[in-house]
Amino acid sequence: MDESWISRKRTTPEFRQGVEEFIQFALKHKKEVGKICCPCRNCGNITTVSTESQLLDHIFWNGFSKNYTEWIWHGEGVSGRTNNNYEDPVENLSNDHLSYENDELDDFVHDTEDNLEERSHVLDRFLSDAEKPLYEGCTKYTKLSSVLSLFQIKAEGGWTDKSFIELMAKLKDMFPENNELASSTYHTKKMLCPMGLDAERIHACPNDCVLYRKEYNELQECPRCGESRYKVSDNGDATNEPAKVLWYLPIVPRLKRLFANAKDAKNLS
C-alpha cells in the first residue's frame, strides 16, 4: 500500500485519495462501534472520534501523523505487511536528517492541546508565522523559526529575560527594516504559549524538600529544613529571586509522537 500521500500537502488530490482509502480501511477493521482512533497530528491515536465525518475533518484540519505508517490502531498488525514502499528510518537516516528541521517545525505547529476547531484564528496565525519570511528575501528563517531558535538558546543558556530582551532589540535593529522578529520576551511567549507550550514555573526548596505549591504556596521558608524560599543578598536580606525553580513542561505532545510510531506504540501498550 502506497503511503507517500501522508507527506503530501493536504490540498493535493493524492492526499485526499489517500485519506479516503485510509478511512475505508479504518471503518472496515474497527473493533468497537462508535469509536475510531484518530491519527491526526492533534489526537495522535490517543483520542477517538465517533463518525467518519469527524475523522475526515480532523485529518484535513490537523494533518496526518507522519510517523504512523503501520496502522496498528486500525486493524493492521505490526510489520504485518509486505510493503516495498516502507522506508526504514535507520536506513534512511541521511534523508531524515536533511528534512529534520522542517518536519520538527511542522509537527511543532500542529501538536497543540487547544481545540483549534473552535479557535481557527489561532491556527491561521501560526501557519502564517511558520511561512512568513523573517524579512524580505530571507529564505532560511521564518517569523516562527527565528523565535524558536532564539528561545531555545535562551533556555539552554539560562539567560535572564533582561539579557534576552536586549539581544532581541539589538538583532531587530541589525536586520533589514520591517523585519518580523519578535520585539520582546512577552511577544515571544505570546507566540509560543497558545500552541501548547505553556510551562509552569514552581519555586522549590534548595535542598529539594518541598515544592512551593498547593498548601506550601504562600510559605517564605521550607517547613522541613527552614531554608529561605528566596536567595539572600550579601547583607543578609531576602531578595525576590527564588532559591531554586522547577519547570513543569507538558508531556502529552511527546506521548502523542510515541503512540504515532508503530514500534514505540507496541512497547507502550
What would the pLDDT profile of 248-259 be if each residue is shown by its tens digit? 776 766 566 566
The answer to whether 114 and 194 are in contact (CB under 8 A) is yes
Residues 33 and 130 in one domain: no
Number of separate domains in the chain: 3
Q: Which of 64-68, 92-96, 213-217 has the highest mean pLDDT?
A: 213-217
Residues 92 and 21 in one domain: yes
Residues 48 and 81 in one domain: yes
Q: Is 8 helix (H, G, I), strand (E, B) or coil?
A: coil
More confident residue, 105 or 167: 167
More confident residue, 44 or 140: 140
Is the pLDDT at 55 greater than 50? The verdict is: yes
Q: What pLDDT sits at residue 38?
A: 87
> pLDDT for 203-213, tens place per residue?
999 999 999 98
Which parts of 132-261 fold into alpha helices (H)?
Answer: 143-157, 161-174, 185-192, 252-260
Q: What pLDDT sits at residue 44?
A: 81
The answer to whether 166 and 183 are in contact (CB under 8 A) is no
Residues 100 and 84 in one domain: yes
Is the pLDDT at 53 greater than 80? The verdict is: yes
Q: What pLDDT sits at residue 221?
A: 92
The boundaries of the domain holding residue 263 are 4-111+253-268
Residues 218 and 174 in one domain: no
Residues 20 and 94 in one domain: yes
Q: What pLDDT sits at residue 229?
A: 92
Taking residues 107-120, what's their average pLDDT? Answer: 46
- How big, in percent rounded to 5, are the helix, strand and coil portions of the chain? 45, 10, 45
More confident residue, 114 or 151: 151
| pTM of the complete model | 0.37
Q: What pLDDT sits at residue 86?
A: 39
More confident residue, 217 or 45: 217
Taking residues 56-71, what's their average pLDDT? Answer: 83
Residues 228 and 210 in one domain: yes
Q: Which of 41-45, 125-129, 135-139 has the highest mean pLDDT?
A: 135-139
Residues 236 and 257 in one domain: no
Residues 169 and 237 in one domain: no
| 87-119 residues labelled b (16+ CB within 10 A) or e (exposed) | eeeeeeeeeeeeeeeeeeebbbbbbbeeebeee
Q: Which residues pair with 246 in a beta bridge?
A: 202
More confident residue, 96 or 217: 217
Q: Which of 13-17, 47-51, 133-137, 259-263 has the lowest mean pLDDT?
A: 259-263
Is the pLDDT at 99 greater than 60? The verdict is: no
Q: What pLDDT sits at residue 166?
A: 87
Residues 179 and 205 in one domain: no
- Measuring CA to CA, which residue among 55, 72, 62, 54 is closest to residue 21? 55
Taking residues 131-153, what's their average pLDDT? Answer: 88
Residues 11 and 78 in one domain: yes
Taking residues 120-149, what's their average pLDDT? Answer: 82
Q: Which of 59-63, 71-75, 180-184, 251-255 has the lowest mean pLDDT?
A: 251-255
Residues 155 and 244 in one domain: no
